């Protein structure tokens, strides 16, 4: 599942091409993805200008003229391909993408000849169109926690959110109602950098009077650092993720614990070995020696 850095990478790749562009026509090559496409989907997009490209958690948001927003979720295997006259604007390097295939489900034709194609082999992705004034209350977005790279995410917030949580740190950080956009990979990496065990109970990084401990401060810093570095690297390409230019993300080459079971810990002077455990059905990678 693409996490915040992968979705943010796609957003940044789309901005030079899609923001400010007019959608001349749209193709819906099937009636549904994870859910049915909006009624009269192609007709509702034809002639619309995209005013802005945003992101909330793991969702892409395209503000359309006329007061509506197109919500796009990449699902498990979704990707976006940009082709045509302005494809090279998507990044410093442009790599050829696969030609049209059976999993190209939605195609946007922009004025000027550029096409934007949503490809989703497993069809866990989604595209919705909602009124802008109802966006915050939409079931997919309502109740999401703060963005971990935003001003509302800090140690004091983390202390208030975790103060009475008896779940593990790993589970608390994956709860989208507490922190938006974090997923398995970057939680593992952030906990490693903060020197905190994924098994540690969430409330133990908060003082008895509800203030953040140094552990909470370290965790906030680690989360921000990991996400920023991953975005800079274009995300992590493990199976399906590619940037809209076709380039692979390469943050996976700098993983310190994720998917490194049995390898030596990369902390200087640590003689530990990376272990894998299962928490809530998800693999967790950590060093039991230096993560406490």
- What is the set of active-site residues? 2-3, 58, 282
How far is residue 50's CA from residue 133's CA, in Å, rounded to a whole number? 17
Return phi, psi of residue 99, to 5°. Answer: -70, 170
Taking alpha carbons only, the member of 286, 109, 59, 60 closest to residue 194 is: 286
Q: Take residue 15 and report the two structure tokens written for it.
A: 């901005």
């Amino acid at each position: 599942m693409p996490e915040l850095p992968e979705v943010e990478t796609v957003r940044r790749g789309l901005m030079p091409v899609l923001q400010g562009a007019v959608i001349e026509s749209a193709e819906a090559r099937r009636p549904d993805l994870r859910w049915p496409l909006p009624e009269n989907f192609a007709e509702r997009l034809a002639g619309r200008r995209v005013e802005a490209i945003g992101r909330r958690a793991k969702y892409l948001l395209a503000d359309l003229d006329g007061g509506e927003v197109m919500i796009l979720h990449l699902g498990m295997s979704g990707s976006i391909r940009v082709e045509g006259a302005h494809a090279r604007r998507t990044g410093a390097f442009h790599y050829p993408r696969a030609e049209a295939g059976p999993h190209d489900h939605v195609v946007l034709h922009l004025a000027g000849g550029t096409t934007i194609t949503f490809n989703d082999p497993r069809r866990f992705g989604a595209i919705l169109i909602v009124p802008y004034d109802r966006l915050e209350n939409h079931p997919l977005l309502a109740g999401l926690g703060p963005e971990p790279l935003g001003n509302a995410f800090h140690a004091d917030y983390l202390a208030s959110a975790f103060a009475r949580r008896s779940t593990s740190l790993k589970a608390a950080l994956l709860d989208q109602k507490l922190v938006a956009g974090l997923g398995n990979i970057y939680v593992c990496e952030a906990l490693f950098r903060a020197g905190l065990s994924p098994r540690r109970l969430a409330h133990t990084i908060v003082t008895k009077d509800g203030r953040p401990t140094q552990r909470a401060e370290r965790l906030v810093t680690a989360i921000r650092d990991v996400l920023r570095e991953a975005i800079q690297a274009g995300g992590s390409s493990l199976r399906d993720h590619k940037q809209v230019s076709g380039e692979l993300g390469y943050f996976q080459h700098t993983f310190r614990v994720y998917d490194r079971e049995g390898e030596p810990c990369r902390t200087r002077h640590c003689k530990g070995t990376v272990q894998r455990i299962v928490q809530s059905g998800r693999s967790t990678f950590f060093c039991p020696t230096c993560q406490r």
